[in-house]
C-alpha cells in the first residue's frame, strides 16, 4: 500500500511540472482562455466541387436513359432527334467552407454558350437555374447515395457515369461520394435542351453558385458535344410529266408544302447545311425499237437552274440550311423529231452534309475540367 501511495505522489508531482507553472491544490484546476473572433459579413463563398454532363438517349421506348453517345471520346457526346433536338443534363456538386447550411437558400446557375467551331459563334445561349436533387436520408439525416433519386438513378450511378465520360477519376468520385455522404456538399441538376437546328459542336457550360448571403463562387467550366447529323424529309419519290409537247419545255414545279407529293419539296431537319447533287439518265421511248435522248432533264434548286448532263453528277452551289424548306423544280425538253409516245428515265438525288471541322476551345484553368479532344 505504501508503495502505491508513493507512486501516486510521484505522478502528482510530474503533472504539476507539465505546462504552466501553476500551483494546484488537489487534483483539478480551471484556467480561463481568451477567445477572439474576426467575422466576414458574407463569409467564404461556395465552391463548385465537380460538374459533368450526360445525354438523354431518345432511342429508348419511354425509358429514361442517361448516357454518352461516344464512350471512347473524352467528354459527353449526344445526337439530336431530327426536327426536335437533344436533351442533356448538367450535374453540379457544391460545397461551402461555412457548411452546407450556408447554401440552403442559395442558388446554382448553369450558363450555356454556343460552339466556337463549325457554324457556331461562341455567343451566350441561355442560363438555367439548377435544382437540388433531394436525397433519401435515414433517421439520423445520413443520405443513402445508392437510393434512386433522379429518374431512377442514384447518386452513385450519376458519379459512375461522370467517371465513364471522363469528367473525373474514380478516386475523385469516391471523394465526392464521401462529401455528399458526410453532408458536406449538395448535388444539383439542370436540364439543357439544344434545338435541332442549332449549331453542332462543343457547347461550353459554366456553373456557379451563390450562398445565403449572396457570396458567389468561381465559375466552373467544361464542355459537351452535339454531333453533326444529316437529316431531311421530302414529299416525293417520283416526277410525272404530263401533256408534254415535243420541242417544248415541260415542267413539274415544286412548292413549300410537305403534303403535296406531286409538287416536290425538301426540308432540312438536321443540324448541318445540305448540299444537293443530281445524276440524270437519258429519256427512253416506249417505241420498238426504243429511242434514247440524252441531256434532256433540267433541275432548279434554291434559285439555281442547271441542265443535268446524262450519266454525270451535277452539284448545286447553294446550300439548304437547317430549319429551312424549299421546293425543287424539274423540267424536260424532248427535241424536235422525238416520237410522240411515253418515255421513262430517272434522276438520282444525293444529299450531303456540309461539315466544318471543329477545333477545341481555348483551355480554361478551372479545376477538374474536360476539354474537347484535339
Residue 26 lies in a domain: no
One domain, residues 69 and 218: yes
Tens of pLDDT, residue by residue over 258-283, are 999 999 999 999 999 999 999 999 99
pLDDT band at 312 (very low <50, low <70, confident <90, very high): very high
> Which residue from 208, 66, 215 is spatially nearest to 130, judged by alpha carbons?
208
pLDDT band at 325 (very low <50, low <70, confident <90, very high): very high
One domain, residues 337 and 312: yes
State the CATH number of the domain containing residue 174: 2.60.40.1930
One domain, residues 219 and 316: no
**311/306 Cα distance (integer angstroms):** 15
**242/93 Cα distance (integer angstroms):** 67
Residue range(s) defining the domain that contains residue 183: 47-226
One domain, residues 207 and 105: yes
Task: Provide the 3-class DSSP secondary structure of residue 15.
Answer: helix
Are the C-beta atoms of 310 and 294 separated by less than 8 Å?
A: yes
Please give the pLDDT value at position 3: 40
Residue 328 lies in a domain: yes
Higher pLDDT, 219 or 1: 219
One domain, residues 99 and 243: no
Percent of the chain residues past pLDDT 70, beyond the cut: 87
**313/72 Cα distance (integer angstroms):** 37
One domain, residues 177 and 284: no
Neighbour-count burial of 317, counting CB atoms closer than 10 A to its CB (0-12 exposed, 13-18 middle, 19+ buried): exposed
One domain, residues 161 and 309: no
One domain, residues 58 and 176: yes
Sheet holding 292-293, edge to edge: 292-293, 283-285, 343-344
Please give the pLDDT value at position 35: 86
Sign of CA dihedral 94, 97, 101, 105: negative
pLDDT band at 40 (very low <50, low <70, confident <90, very high): low
What lies within 8 Å, CB to CB, of 367 at 6+ separation is 220
Whether the pLDDT of residue 208 is over 50: the answer is: yes
Single residue among 196, 226, 256 that ends a domain in this structure: 226
One domain, residues 82 and 175: yes
Residue 83 lies in a domain: yes
Tens of pLDDT, residue by residue over 147-176, are 999 999 999 999 999 999 999 999 999 999
Are the C-beta atoms of 92 and 188 separated by less than 8 Å?
A: yes
Single residue among 206, 226, 246 that ends a domain in this structure: 226
Whether the pLDDT of residue 80 is over 80: the answer is: yes
Residue 169 in grid coordinates: 477519376
Task: Provide the 3-class DSSP secondary structure of residue 252.
Answer: strand
Please give the pLDDT value at position 369: 42
One domain, residues 100 and 194: yes
The total domain count for the chain is 2
Residue 268 lies in a domain: yes
Please give the pLDDT value at position 21: 53
One domain, residues 208 and 263: no
Query: Mean pLDDT across the chain, nearest whole number?
Result: 88
Please give the pLDDT value at position 29: 66
Residue 100 lies in a domain: yes
Please give the pLDDT value at position 44: 86
Least confident of 46-50, 173-177, 203-207, 356-360: 356-360
Residue 253 in grid coordinates: 414545279
> Which residue from 208, 21, 11, 213 is spatially nearest to 98, judged by alpha carbons?
213
Single residue among 178, 201, 226 that ends a domain in this structure: 226
**278/333 Cα distance (integer angstroms):** 17
What lies within 8 Å, CB to CB, of 324 at 6+ separation is 267, 268
Q: How many CB atoms lie within 10 A of CB 165?
A: 24
> Which residue from 185, 147, 151 is spatially nearest to 66, judged by alpha carbons?
151
One domain, residues 53 and 149: yes
Tens of pLDDT, residue by residue over 239-252, are 999 989 999 999 99
Residue 239 in grid coordinates: 416526277
Average pLDDT over residues 52-77: 92
Please give the pLDDT value at position 358: 73
DSSP 46: P
| DSSP string computed for 336-350 | TT--SS-EE--EEEE
Please give the pLDDT value at position 229: 96
**226/205 Cα distance (integer angstroms):** 13
Residue 117 lies in a domain: yes
Residue 207 lies in a domain: yes
Whether the pLDDT of residue 28 is over 60: the answer is: yes
Residue 19 lies in a domain: no
Residue 309 in grid coordinates: 448532263
Q: How far is CA 262 from CA 224, 242, 251, 256, 321, in A?
A: 42, 11, 12, 12, 24
Residue 300, beta-bridge partner list? 305, 329
**75/97 Cα distance (integer angstroms):** 29
Whether the pLDDT of residue 220 is over 70: the answer is: yes
Higher pLDDT, 31 or 78: 78
Amino acid at each position: 500500500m505504501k508503495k502505491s501511495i508513493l507512486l501516486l505522489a510521484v505522478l502528482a508531482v510530474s503533472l504539476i511540472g507539465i505546462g504552466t507553472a501553476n500551483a494546484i491544490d488537489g487534483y483539478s484546476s480551471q484556467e480561463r482562455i481568451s477567445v477572439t473572433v474576426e467575422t466576414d459579413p458574407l463569409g467564404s463563398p461556395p465552391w463548385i466541387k465537380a460538374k459533368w454532363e450526360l445525354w438523354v438517349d431518345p432511342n429508348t421506348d419511354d425509358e429514361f436513359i442517361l448516357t454518352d453517345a461516344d464512350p471512347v471520346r473524352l467528354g459527353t457526346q449526344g445526337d439530336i432527334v431530327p426536327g426536335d433536338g437533344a436533351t442533356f443534363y448538367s450535374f453540379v456538386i457544391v460545397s461551402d467552407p461555412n457548411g452546407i447550411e450556408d447554401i440552403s437558400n442559395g442558388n446554382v446557375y448553369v450558363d450555356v454558350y454556343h460552339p466556337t467551331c463549325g457554324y457556331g459563334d461562341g455567343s451566350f445561349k441561355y442560363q438555367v437555374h439548377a435544382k437540388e436533387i433531394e436525397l433519401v436520408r435515414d433517421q439520423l439525416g445520413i443520405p443513402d447515395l445508392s437510393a434512386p433519386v433522379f429518374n431512377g438513378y442514384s447518386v452513385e450511378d450519376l458519379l459512375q457515369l461522370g467517371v465513364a465520360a471522363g469528367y473525373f477519376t474514380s478516386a475523385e468520385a469516391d471523394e465526392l461520394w464521401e462529401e455528399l455522404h458526410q453532408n458536406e456538399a449538395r448535388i444539383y441538376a439542370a436540364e439543357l435542351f439544344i434545338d435541332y437546328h442549332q449549331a453542332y459542336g462543343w457547347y461550353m457550360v459554366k456553373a456557379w453558385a451563390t450562398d445565403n448571403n449572396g457570396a458567389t463562387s468561381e465559375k466552373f467550366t467544361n464542355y459537351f458535344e452535339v454531333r453533326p447529323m444529316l437529316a431531311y424529309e421530302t414529299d416525293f419519290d417520283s416526277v410525272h410529266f404530263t401533256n408534254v409537247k415535243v420541242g417544248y419545255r415541260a415542267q413539274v414545279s415544286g412548292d413549300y408544302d410537305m403534303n403535296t407529293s406531286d409538287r416536290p419539296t425538301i426540308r432540312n431537319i438536321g443540324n448541318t447545311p445540305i448540299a444537293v447533287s443530281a445524276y440524270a439518265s437519258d429519256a427512253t421511248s416506249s417505241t420498238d425499237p426504243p429511242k434514247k435522248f440524252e441531256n434532256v432533264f433540267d433541275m432548279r434548286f434554291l434559285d439555281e437552274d442547271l441542265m443535268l448532263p446524262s450519266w454525270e453528277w451535277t452539284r448545286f452551289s447553294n446550300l439548304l440550311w437547317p430549319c429551312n424548306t424549299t421546293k425543287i423544280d424539274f423540267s424536260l425538253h424532248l427535241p424536235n423529231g422525238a416520237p410522240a409516245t411515253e418515255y421513262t428515265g430517272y434522276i438520282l438525288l444525293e444529299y450531303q452534309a456540309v461539315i466544318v471541322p471543329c477545333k477545341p476551345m481555348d483551355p480554361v484553368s478551372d479545376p477538374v475540367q474536360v476539354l474537347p479532344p484535339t
